[in-house]
Amino acid sequence: MSSEIITDQKQALAILKEDAEKILQLIKVQMDNLTMPQCPLYEEVLDTQMFGLSREINFAVRLQLISEETGKEIMENLEKQLSGLHEAAQNK
Protein backbone atom coordinates (compact mmCIF):
# COMPACT_ATOMS: atom_id res chain seq x y z
CA MET A 1 0.00 0.00 0.00
CA SER A 2 1.21 3.47 -0.71
CA SER A 3 1.90 5.82 2.16
CA GLU A 4 -0.88 8.12 0.88
CA ILE A 5 -3.49 5.38 1.27
CA ILE A 6 -2.22 4.50 4.74
CA THR A 7 -2.40 8.17 5.72
CA ASP A 8 -5.96 8.40 4.38
CA GLN A 9 -6.93 5.30 6.35
CA LYS A 10 -5.43 6.68 9.56
CA GLN A 11 -7.18 10.01 9.05
CA ALA A 12 -10.52 8.30 8.40
CA LEU A 13 -10.16 6.20 11.53
CA ALA A 14 -9.18 9.23 13.61
CA ILE A 15 -12.16 11.22 12.33
CA LEU A 16 -14.60 8.39 13.06
CA LYS A 17 -13.24 7.93 16.57
CA GLU A 18 -13.42 11.69 17.13
CA ASP A 19 -17.06 11.71 15.99
CA ALA A 20 -17.86 8.82 18.33
CA GLU A 21 -16.26 10.74 21.20
CA LYS A 22 -18.32 13.83 20.31
CA ILE A 23 -21.50 11.76 20.53
CA LEU A 24 -20.44 10.42 23.91
CA GLN A 25 -19.73 13.95 25.18
CA LEU A 26 -23.03 15.25 23.80
CA ILE A 27 -24.95 12.53 25.58
CA LYS A 28 -23.00 13.15 28.82
CA VAL A 29 -23.92 16.82 28.71
CA GLN A 30 -27.52 16.04 27.90
CA MET A 31 -27.79 13.56 30.76
CA ASP A 32 -26.06 15.85 33.25
CA ASN A 33 -27.88 19.04 32.38
CA LEU A 34 -30.94 18.59 30.27
CA THR A 35 -32.85 15.35 30.25
CA MET A 36 -32.93 11.83 31.55
CA PRO A 37 -32.59 8.70 29.40
CA GLN A 38 -36.35 8.08 29.49
CA CYS A 39 -37.04 11.42 27.76
CA PRO A 40 -38.02 11.28 24.07
CA LEU A 41 -35.60 14.15 23.36
CA TYR A 42 -32.71 12.10 24.73
CA GLU A 43 -33.70 9.11 22.62
CA GLU A 44 -34.13 11.26 19.51
CA VAL A 45 -30.70 12.85 19.86
CA LEU A 46 -29.06 9.51 20.54
CA ASP A 47 -30.78 7.76 17.64
CA THR A 48 -29.98 10.58 15.22
CA GLN A 49 -26.34 10.77 16.24
CA MET A 50 -25.83 7.01 16.18
CA PHE A 51 -27.47 6.75 12.76
CA GLY A 52 -25.23 9.51 11.42
CA LEU A 53 -22.11 7.81 12.74
CA SER A 54 -23.18 4.46 11.29
CA ARG A 55 -23.58 6.13 7.87
CA GLU A 56 -20.12 7.70 8.17
CA ILE A 57 -18.67 4.32 9.03
CA ASN A 58 -20.50 2.65 6.16
CA PHE A 59 -19.12 5.27 3.78
CA ALA A 60 -15.56 4.77 5.06
CA VAL A 61 -15.93 0.99 4.68
CA ARG A 62 -17.21 1.37 1.12
CA LEU A 63 -14.20 3.55 0.29
CA GLN A 64 -12.02 0.87 1.88
CA LEU A 65 -10.59 3.39 4.33
CA ILE A 66 -11.43 1.12 7.25
CA SER A 67 -12.47 -2.49 7.52
CA GLU A 68 -16.00 -3.53 8.33
CA GLU A 69 -14.67 -5.07 11.54
CA THR A 70 -13.08 -1.77 12.59
CA GLY A 71 -16.36 0.01 11.95
CA LYS A 72 -18.22 -2.51 14.10
CA GLU A 73 -15.65 -2.06 16.87
CA ILE A 74 -16.17 1.71 16.86
CA MET A 75 -19.94 1.32 17.13
CA GLU A 76 -19.73 -1.41 19.79
CA ASN A 77 -17.28 0.60 21.88
CA LEU A 78 -19.52 3.66 21.76
CA GLU A 79 -22.60 1.59 22.59
CA LYS A 80 -20.82 0.09 25.62
CA GLN A 81 -19.80 3.53 26.85
CA LEU A 82 -23.31 4.89 26.37
CA SER A 83 -24.75 1.90 28.17
CA GLY A 84 -22.44 2.64 31.10
CA LEU A 85 -23.64 6.24 31.16
CA HIS A 86 -27.25 5.11 31.09
CA GLU A 87 -26.68 2.69 33.97
CA ALA A 88 -24.93 5.39 35.99
CA ALA A 89 -27.88 7.74 35.43
CA GLN A 90 -30.31 5.01 36.54
CA ASN A 91 -28.35 4.50 39.75
CA LYS A 92 -28.37 8.20 40.76
Kindly tell me if the per-residue pLDDT of 14 is higher than 60: yes
Q: Which helix (H) or strand (E) holds 67?
A: none
Are residues 34 and 89 in contact, defined by beta-carbon separation less than 8 angstroms? Answer: no
Kindly tell me if the per-residue pLDDT of 31 is higher than 80: no
Q: Helices (DSSP H) in the chain: which residue ranges?
A: 3-29, 40-62, 68-90
Confidence of residue 43 (pLDDT cuts 50, 70, 90): confident
Kindly tell me if the per-residue pLDDT of 35 is higher than 80: no
Kindly tell me if the per-residue pLDDT of 91 is higher than 60: yes
State the residue range of the domain holding 81. 3-90
Give the total number of structural domains in the chain. Answer: 1
Measured between alpha carbons, how far is 34 from 11 in angstroms, rounded to an integer? 33
Average pLDDT of the residues of the chain = 86
CATH number of the domain within which 10 lies = 1.10.287.750
